[in-house]
Structure 1
C-alpha cells in the first residue's frame, strides 16, 4: 500500500515507518521540513492529499516536553496541535478524488508509567523511556519510580500496521500489551535484568514532579490498567506480549 503518515519523524512514527517499509509498503511522511518521501503540512493544505491507500496521524506536541512549563498556554498547544493536524488530514481525505481505504488516528500513545514509548512532536525524538533509561545509564542501576499499583504496558506500532492491512478492523483499539500486570518494582527488576544491572535505587516522586510539574507527573506516577480486548479479537498477534522479553528487545 501507499501510506501517508502524519508526524512520522518522531520515535513512534520512525518505528512504524520502518515496519511498514519492511512489509513492502510505500511510506510518505507529512512533516514540517521537506525531504525525500516527504511532504510538508503547508503543501498538504495547499495541494490536497497525495495519492495514497491509507493515512495515519501521529502528529502532536510532546506532552512530556520537560523544557516547557505545564501552563494554560502549553496545554492549549498540546490539544490544538492534535486537532489541527487531524482536521487538516480529514479535510484532505474528504476532498480527495480517490479517498484512501484506511484512516488511522492515534489519539494518545500510552503514558502508563514508565511506558516504552510516548507521544512525540513530529520532529523531536525522545520520551519517557529515554528519560528513564538515561537515569539508569547515569546511575548504573535501574531507577524505580515510587508506588506499587501502576500497571505497565507496551505500545506496539504493529497494531497500527495490522489496522491498515486487515480490512475487517474498525473502531477503537487499545494499543497496549495483553499482560499489563507489572508493578513498578517488577518493571525495575525486568529492566535491571535486561541491562544486567541491580535494581535498588528509587526515583522519588518529587523528582518527577520537579521536572514535569505536578499534573504531568501523574501520567508517569499513576498509570492505568488497560486491556486490549478488541485488539486481540481482531486477530492481532503480539511479538512481545510479556514485559521481560520486550525490554530485552529494546535494550538489545
Structure 2
C-alpha cells in the first residue's frame, strides 16, 4: 500500500513538472559564468535546458553534432553566450590568440545562425551577446541603444563586437533576435569578482588607475532575468544595453566592493602593471570605459532591476561568495 501511494505521488509530481515546462532553450557557452547561472535560473522557471559544448554530456550537444544534425528537436529559443575569454589569466596576447577570440565569437555565431535559419521556424527567439566595447571609450558621453556608432577599424574590440553583432543580426530576417550589449557581470562563481575577491578580502584591493574611467556593470541576477525577458516577451528585439542604471567609475565600484567586505580601499593598481600582464591593447578594456545607459530596458520594457545600485549588488555578491552557494539565492524570483 505504501509503495502504491509513493508511486501515485511520483506520477502526480512528474505530471505537474511536465505541465510546468515552458519550452526548450539551447545555450551556447553554457559552461561559462553566465551560462551556468542561466541554466540554473531557467530550469527553476520550468524550462528544459540544453547546452552546446566541445565535450558530450547530459543535456549537452557538441558543436560537431550541431553542425551535422542541427538544433535539438523542439528547441524554441537559443541563447548565444559563446566566446573565448579575452582576459584569460596567463594567456599571451598574440595574433593567433586574437584570431581565436574573433573566431570563437564571430565564426561560431555565423555557424549557429545557419542552423537557426534551417530549423523550419521552430525557434521563436534568438538572444545573442555582445559587449559595451562597441562604444568608444569616453568619460563624458552617455551611450544608449540609439547612439550612432562610430566605426574605428583600428580598434580590435570595436571591430570584434561590431562583426559579432552583424553575424547575429543575420538571424533577424526569420527569427525575433535580441542582442544584449553586456557590461561587467557581478556575481559569485566567475567574471571580475573571482579575480578581485581575494586581494580585496586581504585589504589589498583598490581602483585601477586612473580610477575615473567608467565601469558599466550589472548583477548576474538581473542579467539572467533580462535574458528571460528577451526569450518570453515578443516585443523585445534589436539591441538592448545589458547594464545597471547606476553609472559608476572604477574607483566608486572599488570602494563599494571594499565596503561590502568591511575592508579598506587604499591601494591603486598602476596602469603599467595591467599593460605588462595583459598587453597594452587588452589592458585598455580595464583602463578605459564607457558610460552606458539601459534606456530601452527602463523606458520601453519597464524592466525593474533587482540590483540597480552597486552597493547592494556588491553586498549580495560578497554574501554569496563564501561559503560557496548556488549562483542564484533561494529568494530569487
2:142 counterpart residue number:
none
In structure 2, distance between residues paired with 1:36 and 1:205:
44
CA RMSD, 1 decimal: 2.1
> Alignment partner for residue 191 of structure 1, among 244, 257, 263?
257
Unaligned runs of 5+ in 2: 1-22, 138-182, 320-333
How far apart are 1:54 and its partner, in Å? 0.2
Correspondence 1:12 to 2:54:
no
Q: Identify which range, 55-64 or 145-154, moves more after superposition.
A: 145-154
> Alignment partner for residue 127 of structure 1, among 191, 196, 200?
191
Contact 2:30–2:81, Cα closer than 8 Å, also in 1: yes
Contact 2:216–2:290, Cα closer than 8 Å, also in 1: no
Deviations 1:88-109 (A, max 9, x none): 2111111113431000111237
Alignment TM-score, normalising by the size of structure 1: 0.89
Contact 2:213–2:250, Cα closer than 8 Å, also in 1: yes
Contact 1:145–1:221, Cα closer than 8 Å, also in 2: yes
**Mapping of residues 82-231 of structure 1, within 5 Å:** 82-108=105-131, 115-117=184-186, 126-137=190-201, 139-155=202-218, 156-180=223-247, 182-231=248-297
1:122 counterpart residue number:
none
In structure 2, distance between residues paired with 1:160 and 1:218:
28
Q: How many residues align?
A: 243
Higher gyration radius (CA): 2
1:32 counterpart residue number:
54
| Pair 1:141–1:68, CA change in 2 (3 A) | closer
Alignment TM-score, normalising by the size of structure 2: 0.68
> Alignment partner for residue 311 of structure 2, among 225, 244, 248?
244
In structure 1, distance between residues paired with 2:83 and 2:186:
14
How far apart are 1:62 and its partner, in Å? 0.7
In structure 1, distance between residues paired with 2:266 and 2:185:
20
Correspondence 1:67 to 2:90:
yes
How far apart are 1:216 and its partner, in Å? 0.6
Higher strand proportion: 2
In structure 1, distance between residues paired with 2:47 and 2:103:
30
Deviations 1:98-141 (A, max 9, x none): 431000111237799x93459xxxxxx7433322223223x434
In structure 2, distance between residues paired with 1:184 and 1:169:
31
Deviations 1:127-182 (A, max 9, x none): 33322223223x434322112322233232321111111111010001100111x2
